Amino acid sequence: MARNETFVEKEQSDGLHQVESGIYGNQPGIGGDSVAGHAGHGGETQRGLKSRHIQFLALGGAIGTGLFVGSGGILALTGPAPLFMAYLSMMIVVWNVMNNLAEIVTYLPMRGITIPYFVKRFVDPSLAFAVGWNYWYAYAILIAAEATAGAILLDYWTTPVPDAAWITIFLLVILFLNIVAVGVFGEAEFWFASIKFITIMGLIILGFVIFFGGSPNDQGRLGFRYWNNPGAFKPYIVDGHAGNFLAYWTAFVRAGFAFITSPELIALAAGETIAPRRNIPKAARRFVWRLAIFYGFGSFIIGVIVPSDDDRLLSPSSNATASPFVIGIGRAGIKGLNHVINAAVLTSAWSAGNAFLFSGSRVLYGMALTGDAPKIFGKTNRKGVPWVAVLATWVIGLLAYLNVSNTGAQVFTWFSNISTISGFVAWIVVMITYIRFRKALVYNNLLHTLPFKTPFQPYFVYAVLFIVCLLTLTNGFQVFVPSNWSAANFLAAYITIPIFLALYFGHKIWFRTSFAIKIPDIDVITGKREMDELCALDEAPVPKNWLQRAWFWLA
């Protein structure tokens, strides 16, 4: 393979620099480093995402309306203790999924890679077909969920502008950011996520100030006041300890919405990332710690500053118009800050919707390259953007207009339930793929060549796989209680499973594929040499002063 010259890109705006290799751009005539090259059709994407883009893309996708809005619904339903425990529990699951994906994509960070590509290569073409469309469907629904959340947040100001207008503006902005160039997308996501980062850190600090009695009004030191009254747990369905456990399990399931598909954001961006074997592990290692800080402290603070019986929290019976953080600030008597925070939370919905459109379009683009979607979705423009796939994914986001004829809370709940179960199914497939990938490496005596290894494997993945299977099967258990039966809620909780199975078995019957690729036949070689050669030319940036050292550590 020809060795291209390296270059140094200087970022004049902040006086910092980062060494980036020219090899990570497009290379006409060389197909070994891309899925499109191996497929022999489809346009090429470009490696335009820098380290800071990847770090904040993952952060931006993970910190969205699940924490800022959805957490209020969990608090109202189950109480502060299940909310806090559920987010901590879900972080363990996410950490495993992130590690699984990071090991795989760091091993083969080819341009155009997607999770379905690896499923098809390491497990089974039929499973890849089903999970690919499941991923695309989940990301498209998440765009609608974020647009709906945006309309809910804007209702806080009781503007005369109809919800349909806000949804239209929301959708058009994220379409523009995704259609121009991946560098523009990455830059927008960096600044969106930066606002979220500053906001959530400020809210956590403010929450502890309120906790210790720093409110300007007379509510005094809150401490664990709301954990005592109305209570730490709100028994769910039945009373007693069983009701407390069901409250925790319900919160555990619903907490999945905040994290669903967020680990995949790093994996899907690996093929468009500069220096992937340096930047992907860096982002993966920091991902869970940042989530621990933001979701751990964030969920704790929400339960401290807002009682679970506040009627402004998200629930099917009320059209909530505020994040629980905004409600807590209002209760503390802090004037004006509630509007600032609501605006910042609104940008988080924009950020998450932006990231989900990027990911959904890349899944569809990847499927077009592997023959699991029409070839037209593999087209790219001169900037390397798969514009047809972007448009097709964006169109599904128009479901957000359901908010016009139903309450925002109810529509948000439907979308969050649908995307959560789709995400659980996808995580199951990710873990199965990792198990197969690892077994193939062991069989070929290549396990020692993994550029990035994570702890507790392979035992950890088996334990988490069992837990996620339980979550998938029980995610809608409450609808089977006669008093809670709802056809709409039942479909939202379980419709994904029969759709997924229909895609899987339909593809298997039509193409008569075997149950799974045999371990000796799994290909863990193709593309590895090219990736080794490309990544060997990477030159890590060397900081010249303490400011650069701090920046390189952060981003």
**Which span out of 171-175, 239-243, 466-470, 510-514 was modeled with the highest average pLDDT?**
466-470
DSSP 223: T
Cα–Cα distance between 467 and 461 in angstroms, integer?
10
* Residue 173, CA distances (Å) to 169, 176, 177, 272, 433 in order: 6, 5, 6, 22, 35
Residue 56: both structure tokens together: 């904040």
Residue 545's pLDDT is what?
Answer: 77
Per-residue three-class SS string for 225-253: HHHHHHHCCCCCCCCHHHHHHHHHHHHHH
Cα–Cα distance between 251 and 233 in angstroms, integer?
11
Cα–Cα distance between 126 and 390 in angstroms, integer?
24
The DSSP code sequence of 19-81 is EEEGGGS--TT--TTBHHHHHT-SPPP---B-HHHHHHHHHHHHSSHIIIIIHHHHHHHH-HH
How many alpha carbons fall within 13 Å on the CB side of residue 500? 24
User: Residue 384: is its pLDDT beyond 80?
Assistant: no
Task: Specify the higher pLDDT residue, 246 or 142.
Answer: 246
User: Residue 543: is its pLDDT beyond 60?
Assistant: yes
DSSP 3-state assignment of 323? coil
Cα–Cα distance between 154 and 150 in angstroms, integer?
6
Spatial CA neighbour of 146 closest among 428, 366, 346: 346
The mean of the pLDDT values for the chain is 77
pLDDT, tens digit, 9 for 90 and up, residues 194-243:
787 788 888 888 888 888 887 787 777 888 888 988 888 989 888 888 99
CB proximity list for 486: less than 8 A, separation 6 or greater: 479
Element holding 8 (H helix, E strand): strand 6-11
**Strands of 179-240, DSSP E:** none
Alpha helix locations (H) across 336-386?
337-369
Burial 447-476 (b: 16+ CB within 10 A, else e): eeeebbebeebeebbeebbeebeebbebbb
> How many CB atoms sit inside 10 A of residue 406's CB?
14
Alpha helix locations (H) across 260-336?
262-269, 276-291, 298-305, 324-331
Cα–Cα distance between 31 and 268 in angstroms, integer?
19
| Inter-helix orientation angle 163-179/182-211, to 10° | 130
Spatial CA neighbour of 275 closest among 107, 49, 548, 448: 49
Taking the model in full, what pTM does it have? 0.80
CA 79 to chain centre: 25
Cα–Cα distance between 467 and 474 in angstroms, integer?
11
Q: In this structure, which amino acid lies at residue 248?
A: Y
DSSP 16: E
Degrees, nearest 5: CA angle 416-373-386: 80
pLDDT, tens digit, 9 for 90 and up, residues 58-99:
665 566 666 777 788 888 889 899 999 999 899 899 889 989
CB proximity list for 343: less than 8 A, separation 6 or greater: none
User: Residue 21: is its pLDDT beyond 60?
Assistant: no
Residue 1's pLDDT is what?
Answer: 38
Residue 60: both structure tokens together: 């931006």
Residue 397: both structure tokens together: 């986001």
Cα–Cα distance between 451 and 364 in angstroms, integer?
28
Task: Specify the higher pLDDT residue, 17 or 335.
Answer: 335
Residue 541's pLDDT is what?
Answer: 65
> Roughly how many angstroms between the first and final C-alpha of the chain, as a whole number?
31
* Residue 452, CA distances (Å) to 99, 105, 278, 437 in order: 9, 9, 10, 14
Look up tokens 């300890």; give the residue: 241
User: Residue 25: is its pLDDT beyond 90?
Assistant: no
* Residue 411, CA distances (Å) to 71, 172, 314 in order: 16, 20, 11
pLDDT band, residue 468 (cuts 50/70/90): very high
Residue 548's pLDDT is what?
Answer: 67
DSSP 296: I
pLDDT band, residue 462 (cuts 50/70/90): very high
Residue 16: both structure tokens together: 């910092």
5 burial (CB, 10 Å; 0-12 / 13-18 / 19+) is: exposed
